[in-house]
């Protein structure tokens, strides 16, 4: 009995000293799935898409068709990073017009270009800071085969690389008509951006093209010298040329761009809708200097790639999930890396957030994807 008491005490001590299994610790950097139709998610998606369009120098303004996936990364008192997957559609506005996507019209379905963008967007409501950290987009035209099957008589898209004599003729003839009807300024062809053909009562060609301003007026056209190579597009024209026997029918309309420098108070400018302290972003972009210890420059890092339609012979994608390969990573470290955003704030204090690799898997929730503006399967990525 004398030995049992010490043995029991030792057993009790060992049991008390044993460690219980480690409990999972809540990760302060965990991603939170958000509803794709939540008002704040839609607002962030709107700002992100505005900045994507503003960053581009070529192509047409992209509009939001739906939010496909949204995840929020809380930054412990420094706001949040949103990881957004957006289904988008091209509009009829060129990006050089600087128009907000909400005021642009949609293209007819046979000209539709659709795709997906991924964006990492930072928001800090108390400090009124909004910032597009990075984005990438992949776009494709609607399948020509599906267009023909749905609407055999619709105009068929054709190449815009000026290799087609008919496309070039339609552009030059319609621009000549505009110049002849102009009272003063003259314009020349800069670049064809869209083209299609259709049989009406004869072969018809429809073109959209950028124009640049000539240095000479209409009265000086006979002695006008060539325009300097550093000229920039002044507007977008839409023209058509239809032939019937020996007759030609030409039409043209032109939409001229506003000044590249947005006017104060312009509601169409995403920059002017941002808080005043975002002027530091503009300054940093102009100087082209990256923030200290930051994996990202001040300006957004991103690109838009165009791929052939899924039925094109040059399209190699067999897996529908790879039809729109959009990859976006500011880091590959699964634990994340710090991103210095001090330049966004007025206070001379260090402001760093943690950025994670873009989520590979979508958050499968009842709220995502959100409702589409255009629910046609022709313009929704798989």
pLDDT digits (tens, 9 = 90+) for 141-153: 998 888 888 888 8
Measured distance CA(237)–CA(207) in Å, rounded: 8
CATH number of the 32-143+309-355 domain? 3.10.450.10
Measured distance between the N- and C-terminal CA atoms of the chain, rounded to whole angstroms: 77
**Contact in structure between 273 and 262 (CB atoms under 8 Å):** no
pLDDT category at 22 given cuts 50, 70, 90 is very low
Q: What is the pLDDT of residue 364?
A: 64
Question: pLDDT tens for residues 262-302?
Answer: 333 333 333 333 333 333 333 433 333 333 333 444 556 79
**Contact in structure between 257 and 234 (CB atoms under 8 Å):** yes
Q: Which residues pair with 122 in a beta bridge?
A: 81, 131
Q: What mean pLDDT comes out for the span 97-103?
A: 94
Measured distance CA(104)–CA(62) in Å, rounded: 9
Select the CATH number that applies to the domain covering 151-215+233-256 from these four: 3.10.450.10, 1.10.510.10, 3.30.70.260, 3.40.50.2000. Answer: 3.10.450.10
The model carries a pTM of 0.79
Higher-pLDDT residue of 358, 273: 358
167 burial level (CB within 10 Å; 0-12, 13-18, 19+): buried
Predicted confidence (pLDDT) at residue 15 exceeds the cutoff of 60 = no
Lowest model confidence (mean pLDDT) among 31-35, 166-170, 240-244, 297-301: 297-301
Predicted confidence (pLDDT) at residue 178 exceeds the cutoff of 50 = yes
Domain with CATH 3.10.450.10 in the chain: 32-143+309-355, 151-215+233-256
Q: What mean pLDDT comes out for the span 338-347?
A: 88
Question: pLDDT tens for residues 318-335?
Answer: 555 678 888 888 888 888
DSSP 300-336: PEEEEEE---TTSTT----SGGGSS-----S---TT-
Measured distance CA(119)–CA(50) in Å, rounded: 12
C-alpha neighbours within 13 Å on the C-beta side of residue 146: 15
pLDDT category at 371 given cuts 50, 70, 90 is very high
Predicted confidence (pLDDT) at residue 239 exceeds the cutoff of 80 = yes
Q: What is the DSSP letter of 288?
A: T
């Amino acid at each position: 009995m004398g030995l049992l008491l010490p043995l029991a005490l030792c057993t009790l001590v060992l049991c008390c000293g044993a460690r219980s299994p480690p409990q999972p610790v809540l990760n302060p950097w965990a991603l939170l799935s958000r509803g794709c139709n939540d008002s704040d998610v839609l607002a962030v998606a709107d700002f992100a898409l505005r900045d994507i369009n503003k960053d581009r120098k070529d192509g047409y303004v992209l509009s939001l068709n739906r939010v496909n996936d949204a995840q929020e990364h809380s930054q412990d008192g420094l706001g949040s990073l949103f990881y957004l997957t957006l289904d988008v559609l091209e509009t009829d506005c060129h990006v050089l017009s600087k128009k907000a996507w909400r005021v642009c019209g949609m293209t007819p379905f046979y000209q539709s270009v659709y795709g997906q963008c991924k964006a990492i967007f930072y928001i800090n409501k108390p400090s009124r800071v909004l910032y597009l950290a990075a984005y990438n987009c992949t776009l494709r035209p609607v399948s020509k085969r599906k267009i023909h099957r749905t609407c055999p008589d619709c105009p068929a898209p054709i190449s815009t690389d000026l290799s087609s004599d008919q496309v070039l003729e339609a552009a030059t003839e319609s621009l000549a008509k505009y110049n002849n009807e102009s009272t003063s300024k003259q314009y020349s062809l800069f670049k064809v951006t869209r083209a299609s053909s259709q049989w009406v009562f004869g072969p018809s060609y429809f073109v959209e093209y950028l124009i640049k301003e000539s240095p000479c007026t209409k009265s000086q056209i006979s002695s006008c010298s060539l325009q300097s190579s550093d000229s920039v597009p002044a507007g977008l024209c839409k023209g058509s040329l239809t032939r019937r026997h020996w007759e030609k029918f030409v039409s043209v309309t032109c939409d001229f761009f506003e000044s590249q420098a947005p006017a104060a108070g312009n509601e169409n400018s995403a920059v002017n809708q941002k808080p005043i302290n975002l002027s530091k972003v503009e300054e940093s972009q102009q100087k082209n200097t990256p923030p200290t210890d930051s994996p990202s420059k001040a300006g957004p890092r991103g690109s838009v790639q165009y791929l052939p339609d899924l039925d094109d012979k040059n399209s190699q994608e067999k897996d529908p999930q790879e039809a729109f390969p959009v990859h976006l990573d500011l880091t590959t470290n699964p634990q994340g890396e710090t991103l210095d955003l001090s330049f966004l704030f007025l206070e001379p204090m260090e402001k760093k957030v943690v950025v994670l690799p873009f989520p590979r898997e979508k958050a499968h929730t009842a709220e995502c994807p959100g409702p589409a503006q255009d629910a046609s399967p022709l313009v929704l990525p798989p």
